[in-house]
Amino acid sequence: MSSAVIHYSAAACTDRGRKRSSNEDAFGFSVDHGVFVVCDGMGGAAAGEVASALAVDELMRLLKERSAGAPLPEAAEQAIMAANGTIFTRAARNPKLSGMGTTLVLLLANADRAWMLNIGDSRGYRLRGGKLEQITVDHSLVEEQVRSGRINLAEAKRSPLRNVITRALGTQPTVTADVFPLEIEPGDLFLLCSDGLTRELSDDLLESMLRLDLKLEALCERLIGAANNAGGHDNITCLLLRAGGTTQ
């Protein structure tokens, strides 16, 4: 008995935005290997760029090399631990890179199953049946304040603490990602993105844009353009992944 195999297509785009002098976001994906990742680096000077690039390179390499049939969430967690160690060690050896780290949102797919993992405030969403759902939960101070009822969503958007993330890849000797198992249906559209997109565009606007009947590349460019038109205060990265038809 064979199970259904879901076919994916993907596109991604990153942009410096309108205010920053460099781009500390990074992305990588391989449709063949079912690996899709967005990182948003942080740290002084060029350290943020180093951290996000290291994370993407290490995760792509390790997850492409994973053995066929390896349980995916475990493979992802091991790769994340290894990438965390690589960044942490590099930062410890070089004072210019001290304290560097990065957020992470990762989607890992098999023939018929997928998992999303996140660290920090880069997000993963799913559009299904025209409805947008945020899959990941930010590891940020304002998210914790909203959840505990201390502030509301509108206050969170204005909070001077909205940049404070409570978990990052590479800043501590160990880190744990949150893991979200996904049931995939043909037609599902996934968005992985940095906060430079979600700070500028409301979920309602994201939903209406993701419903547009456009090729994924064009849709990525449309999202980046909209975030820039809304101010482009930060680097902007989006990665789109569509689950297509199945074969038995």
Please state the closest distance from residue 226 (CB atom) to Ca ion, in A.
16
User: Could you give the CA distance from residue 54 to residue 8 in angstroms, rounded to a whole number?
Assistant: 26
Figure out which of the listed residues 195, 198, 201, 236 binds Ca ion, where binding follows CB under 5 A. 195
Helix (H, G, I), strand (E, B) or coil at 217: helix
Residue closer to Ca ion by CB (options 121, 188) is 121
Piece in contact with Ca ion (CB under 5 A), picked from 9-17, 26-34, 36-44, 237-245: 36-44
Figure out which of the listed residues 15, 40, 49, 138 binds Ca ion, where binding follows CB under 5 A. 40
Query: By CB under 5 A, what part of segment 79-118 binds Ca ion?
Result: none
15 near Ca ion, judged by CB under 5 A:
no
138 near Ca ion, judged by CB under 5 A:
no
Instruction: Tell me how far apart the terminal alpha carbons of the chain are, to the nearest angstrom.
Output: 9
User: Could you give the CA distance from residue 164 to residue 166 in angstroms, rounded to a whole number?
Assistant: 7
DSSP 8-class letter at 122:
-
| Number of residues this chain uses to bind Ca ion (CB under 5 A) | 5
Piece in contact with Ca ion (CB under 5 A), picked from 69-77, 107-115, 132-140, 227-235: 227-235
Residue closer to Ca ion by CB (options 24, 58) is 24
Q: Which helix (H) or strand (E) holds 83?
A: helix 72-93
The binding site for Ca ion (CB under 5 A) comprises 40, 194-196, 234
